[in-house]
Amino acid sequence: MKLTLFKGDHKPAFGALDILKYIGPGLLVTVGFIDPGNWASNIAAGAEFGYTLLWVVTLSTIMLIILQHNAAHLGIATGLCLSEAAAKHLPRYASISSLSTAMLASVSTSLAEILGSAIALNMLFGIPIKLGALLATILIVVLLFTNSYRRIERWIIGFVSLIGISFIYELTLVHIEWGEAAAAWVTPTLPESSILLVMSVLGAVVMPHNLFLHSEVIQSRQWNLQEESVIKKQLRYEFLDTFLSMGIGWAINSAMIILAATTFFNVGTPITELEQAQSMLQPLLGNNASVIFAIALLLAGIASSVTSGMAGGSIFSGMFNEPYDIKDTHSKAGVLLSLIGGLLIIFFISSPFQGLIVSQMVLSIQLPITVFMQVYLTSSKKVMGKHANRQFTKIILLLIACLVTYLNIRLFISIW
């Protein structure tokens, strides 16, 4: 059973209201762009360098739009997710090895997302990290196993909306130099000792599981793909969804840096952990600000854990040439492997900070495999037909892939 809900012989109207109905798949990917790992990098960047590194959010968002649109392009043009396409079109040894590492990356991602939820529960209620991780995992599994895709999509849209509102509230409490911020968004600068944070912010944006996820969930909006005109309209509307959703991610990530710049940077306080940031907000901006910060982190952790689990299900089912379907055994197994695997690792690490380091190391190693595999598949006429990447598009994708690979290798070396 395919994930798609509207696929059929009818033609979509593609009117103005249909654009609004189409919004959704991109927002599921956006939560990976505002996950707890991004929170840590962005807050550290703002606390140490003020507005200066806002340009990194702009660059990373542009890179993300191009790569995520390309992944969605694959799903629309072929009716296959990235995992299915790899299993179908790559040699068996290549697909199994690549998808196995992608599954490990999904486990690593779930580790970080569940950990973020646990940290938020600790901030709000004093719940120990490991118990909070267990409670968060149970909630996430229940959400995935008892809700349809469309209902999960609505949950995620609600979560992203609340996170955005939370940061709007936080920003009303501080004085922002908007002129300075506007210049920093478009002016690349590298202050002394900033390269590690630049690599962290850029490298944490493009995540392997999101590429698999987007190529799958985009198919919830497919209609009769036998008609070329429908495919072209789908591609156009998908780009609007991706552009809008990534734009929301850009705004939220920028808000994190701005909040840290206007509070911690101004008082000369470097921030290395999320708990430290939350505790510092209370004396600076009041109790409400610190509570809302923790609630927004909890929403981000739960939402990104849900999408990480979905990605795990998509990757694992794709190994068996099957689409993601939460009622299917392989999809369920993939979801549980991702989430339970991440939870178990949390129980065997000595500190949350160490857990985030482990997760980032695994992602740094695996990401180049997924990105180059995607570019190969979307550039192949055998896979994509007339929708294969044009030469210019292929060059841009390869340049981004090389940059992302370089940044992640540098980040891995620095962590190691």
CATH number at residue 327: 1.20.1740.10
Q: What is the DSSP letter of 225?
A: T
pLDDT at 71 over 90: yes
Contact between residue 3 and residue 219 where contact means Cβ atoms under 8 Å apart: yes
Tokens of 382: 């055998």
Contact between residue 11 and residue 276 where contact means Cβ atoms under 8 Å apart: no
| Among the listed residues 172, 201, 176, 156, the one whose alpha carbon sits nearest the alpha carbon of residue 30 | 156
Q: How many whole angstroms separate alpha carbon 309 and alpha carbon 54?
A: 30
pLDDT at 365 over 90: no
| Among the listed residues 225, 94, 255, 78, the one whose alpha carbon sits nearest the alpha carbon of residue 165 | 255
**The predicted structure's pLDDT at residue 287:** 77
Domain-located, residue 171:
yes
**The predicted structure's pLDDT at residue 258:** 94
Which residue did the predictor score with more confidence, 279 or 128? 128
Which residue did the predictor score with more confidence, 208 or 85? 85
Domain-located, residue 260:
yes
pLDDT at 329 over 50: yes
**The predicted structure's pLDDT at residue 17:** 53
Q: How many whole angstroms separate alpha carbon 302 and alpha carbon 70?
A: 26
Q: How many whole angstroms separate alpha carbon 337 and alpha carbon 103?
A: 8
Domain-located, residue 1:
no
**The predicted structure's pLDDT at residue 22:** 63
Say how many C-beta atoms besides its own lie within 10 A of residue 233's C-beta: 17
With b meaning 16 or more CB within 10 Å and e meaning fewer, what string describes 395-408? ebbbebbeebbebb
Min mean pLDDT across 5-19, 115-129, 318-332 is at 5-19
Q: For 118-130, how does the pLDDT look when each residue is reduced to its tens digit (9 = 90+)?
A: 999 999 999 999 9
pLDDT at 283 over 70: no
Q: What is the DSSP letter of 263?
A: I
Domain-located, residue 394:
yes
Q: What is the domain count for the chain?
A: 1
Domain-located, residue 3:
no
**The predicted structure's pLDDT at residue 5:** 39
Q: Going by C-beta distance under 8 Å and a sequence separation of 6 or more, which residues neighbour residue 202? A: 56, 59, 60, 63, 404, 407
**The predicted structure's pLDDT at residue 350:** 78
Domain-located, residue 10:
no
Q: What is the DSSP letter of 219?
A: G
Quote the domain boundaries for residue 192: 16-415
Q: For 226-273, how does the pLDDT look when each residue is reduced to its tens digit (9 = 90+)?
A: 566 667 777 777 888 888 889 999 999 999 999 999 988 877 777 777
**Alpha-carbon dihedral sign for residues 196, 199, 201, 204:** negative
Q: For 89-114, how does the pLDDT look when each residue is reduced to its tens digit (9 = 90+)?
A: 999 999 999 999 999 999 999 998 99
**The predicted structure's pLDDT at residue 399:** 92
Helix or strand (DSSP H, E) at 147: none
**The predicted structure's pLDDT at residue 296:** 92
Domain-located, residue 240:
yes
Q: Which amino acid is at 359?
A: S
Q: Angle of helix 228-260 relative to helix 178-186, nearest 10 degrees?
A: 130
Contact between residue 172 and residue 384 where contact means Cβ atoms under 8 Å apart: no
Q: How far is CA 245 from the centre of its chain?
A: 11
| Ranges 117-121, 192-196, 219-223, most confident | 117-121
Which residue did the predictor score with more confidence, 202 or 81? 81
pLDDT at 219 over 50: yes
